[in-house]
Amino acid sequence: MATKNLLQAIHEGLAEEMRSDESVMVLGEDVGRAGGVFRVTQGLQEEFGEARVLDTPLAESLIVGSAIGLSANGMRPVAEIQFGDFITPAFDQIVNEAAKFYYRSNGAWNCPITIRAPYGAVHGGGLYHSQSIEAWFSNTPGLKVVAPTFPADAKAMIKSAIRDPNPVLFLEHKRTYRLIKEDVPDDNPEVPIGEARVHREGADITVVAYGLMLYTALEVADKLLEEQGLETEVVEPRTLYPLDKETILESARKTGKFLVVSEANLTGSVSAEIAAVVAREAFEWLDAPVMRLGSPDVPAAAFARPMMDHFVPSAEKIEAAMLELAAY
């Protein structure tokens, strides 16, 4: 066991899968010689060669389309989209091709591809390097969308994604790459896709969050317990589609007060789906309206740092929402 950050854990998971299965390969822009823009794939080309760690042209539709073709010929490709913002040219390949392979063939064809994409707002990122893209894909049957936040989960879930017989979109919040560290076992226990995680238990309110917002919510929960004795249960979906509804509902029914925090725009978001599920299926246990906190409905985070800080829900905003809910 060693302490690793999120970036190192994903790298380790990729390397271990490539060592154990020769059909696993990586392709994307600058993933080989440069090791990726964030250095997640650094050193993989030296170990596994150019045929299994393949630098591609700057063409996302080609990257995902090639991955689909490779999967149809016995490979398990991991396609990297350098920034999630640039995934839209590959939208047709992901949604209309990869996600429909199994269904349209009545189970005769699988499409075992993993698509890695960094997402989330970052200082200096501006409009095209800071978007949260999860809602675009989280209503696509045939596609799984995962977004683990902590290193041990990320290592285990990149393995689960690669081993899955059908396409998985693997989201990595870029601000958490080096921020979050924890002990990662050499032999990770399996983390199945579709299983949420309760990070801390509490009796007063439930907060559901993922990505950077999970990290912030956990800090706020610790602060409010120390200062006001407020017991917050914090739940991380880990898989955004399909959702682990039962774990989320069990927590909502226990506390009776429910807040979902996300960095994405509120309208049409994953948080909207979570809120709808709780409002419909836990209504009789609720002591307050379901609350949501997210970014305003503007196209993207601004380049200017003060405006970006205003765009992303802060610890202060999360604390205020939690206190409002607790006092309801």
Task: Please identify every residue annotated as catalytic.
Answer: 129
Phi/psi for 189 (5° steps) reads: -65, 150
**What span, in angstroms and rounded, lies between the C-alpha atoms of 200 and 281?**
23
DSSP state of 282: S
Amino acid, single-letter form, for residue 77 = P
Q: Which residues does 279 contact at the CB level (< 8 Å), separation at least 6?
A: 286, 290
CA separation for the pair 60, 64 (Å, rounded): 6
Q: Do residues 150 and 180 lie in contact, with contact meaning Cβ atoms separated by under 8 Å? A: yes
What tokens were used for 294? 């997210």
Q: Identity (one letter) of the amino acid at 244?
A: D
Exposure pattern of 310-323 as b/e (b: 16+ CB <10 Å)?
A: ebbbeeebbbebbe
In terms of C-beta density within 10 A (0-12 exposed, 13-18 middle, 19 or more buried), how is residue 205 classed? buried
Side chain identity, residue 129: H
